[in-house]
Structure 1
Amino acid sequence: MYLLAIAVILTALKYFEIGPVANMDWWWILGFYGATIVWWAWADATGYTKRKAMEKMATRKQDRINKNKEALGIAPRKPR
């Protein structure tokens, strides 16, 4: 996602001819879009994206369980 943000910012800077980016070739900027595509393809192929989403859901679930236990007056389990 960071690569895409950089690519969009560089595109805007190049289009409006701001700073040193105005003198760069378009190939450099298109390279960031290509790197973004390669990153997303790798992340999807290796399961990185899905694994991160599952970790986030597990953390949210445990936080919710701990919050409910605290509301009931039960001490939450400490993670191992």
Structure 2
Amino acid sequence: MMWFLALGLLLMLLKWLEFGPVAEWAWWQTMVPLGLAIVWWTWADFSGYTKRKRMEKDAKRHDDRIQRLRKNLGQIQRPK
């Protein structure tokens, strides 16, 4: 998830700038969210989650385009 990546980058920046309590953490502790992001992306690719979400997005775009074309042609829209 992108939240893991954003959190990891934020923690790295805070560690590098030696800001707040993060300055006293070990570097590996600031890298944990980046590791979780890698685990998430690996799981998403191997499980088919990424491909399924992309196919759902493409199907929605296709349906929206057909509905828009029908509306522009003045045809009655089919109920879903």
Question: Under TM normalisation by the shorter chain, which class is it?
Answer: 0.7 to 0.9
Q: Percent identity?
A: 48
Instruction: Calculate the TM-score normalised by the size of structure 2.
Output: 0.87
Whole-Å Cα distance in 2 between the matches of residues 12 and 29 of structure 1?
Answer: 9
More contact order relative to length (CA 8 Å, sep ≥ 6) = 2
Matched, 1:11 2:12: yes
- 1:68–1:28: structure 2 CA closer, same or farther, 3 Å change rule? same
Write out per-residue CA displacement over residues 20-73 of structure 1, whole angstroms, 9 at most, x where no aligned residue. Answer: 322222122211111111111100010000000010111111111111111011
Cα RMSD over matched residues? Answer: 1.3
Matched, 1:39 2:71: no
Query: How many aligned residue pairs are there?
Result: 79
Instruction: Note the residue ranges of structure 2 that are not aligned, 5 or more in a row.
Output: none
Instruction: Calculate the TM-score normalised by the size of structure 1.
Output: 0.87
CA-CA distance at 1:5 after TM superposition: 1.4
